[in-house]
Amino acid sequence: MHPGTSLPESGPLAGLLVADFSRILAGPYAAMLLADMGAEVVKVESPSGDDTRSWVPPAREGVSTYFLGVNRGKRSIALDLRDAGDVTVARELIRRADVVIENLKPGGMARFGLDYETVRTSNPGLVYVSISGFGTGPGRDVPGYDLMIQAVSGLMSLTGDPDGPPYRAGISVFDVMAGNHAAIGALAALRHRDRTGSGQHIEINLLSSALTGLVNHSSAWVAGGTVPYRMGNAHPSVFPYEPLPTADDDLIVTAANDSQFDKLCTVLGIPHVAEDSRFARNADRTANRHELRPLLIERLRQKTALEWFDLLTAAGVPCGPIQTIDGGFAMAERFGLDPVVDVGEGDRAVPTTRHPIRFSATPAVYRLPPPELDEHGAELRKWLSEDV
């Protein structure tokens, strides 16, 4: 039914065909999540390839690790949508697909007759996911990059030292969030199709993903009329919930409720502090954080961050050392999470980060390494030319 039938169909989405017309991060990430869950994903690229193929350093054997990180499990076909023959190939791929993911500027697919309203006539069950920066209204012509969204959404105003400049987050957080929303939307629409037989158009925009992703800060403004402000690593509503110095490195301590705070004080050898009326409840601790912080630091400075991590974790107090990314993977290994999976065989094997969802009956699959540009073009063109 789909290309690549020599590969065993498995995973919860086995049997679904996804046409991925997206590039860079949000769309490719969403499509990769679906591929991990068993969908057959065809990545449609321009003849010059996805932009991220050239985003180096870093690279692995000359290939951008950025591209490798969000494109496993896919087959690549290069199509020039300015060419009528290639548009015909694209249209046939969409006719056979269960899901389309695209992130051209709003109206971009319509230039080639590949927009939802056009293609739904030949595929009424199609789930068509469009990702943009600012939606299809007055912001339709504004390009949407994650850094822009971090700026205009207000995230950067919350990130950094109180007296310093705004900072971007260390990752493209809203691209990833929008990619997750795109995958969720596609799955919900597929469920609707199972019941009704009808597909639908799903629209995701980065700014809306950002505003919902700002969660308590969005609610502070929408429900409380309060504009949150930059607090460095502090939390506006909880204390302790920030890095605190130890004998060597800072340790994140997140005693977010009264019980956890009691346990923290017991391990630190200051149980009387938990009984102090200034610190007995979270609201008290938050209001009196400047008095409480030095009491905690005095005790924490007696051991190293890793020593406290073991002691506090054993007592049920959430905490963690501040590590570089290699340390994060090492901790995942320590906890048996097996965070790295090799995809492909021999020289084509690529280490990638494990799919985040564990399924008890239909585990994620890792069938194909990130593709070379147009690696599967010939077989896909042949398949799409055959009658089905």
Catalytic (active-site) positions: 175
Neighbour-count burial for 240-264, b at 16+ CB within 10 Å, e otherwise = bbbbbebeeeebbbbbbeeebbbbb
Distance CA 217, CA 155 (A): 9
Specify the residue for token string 């065993």.
8
- What does DSSP say about strands 340-343 and 350-353: parallel, antiparallel, or unpaired? antiparallel
Contact indicator for 77, 47 with CB cutoff of 8 Å: no
Between CA 242 and CA 294, with CA 236 as vertex, the angle to 5 degrees is: 45
CB 32 within 8 A of CB 354: no
d(CA 282, CA 244) in angstroms, rounded, equals 18
372 contact partners, CB below 8 Å, separation of at least 6: 76
Q: Are 352 and 340 in contact (CB under 8 A)?
A: yes
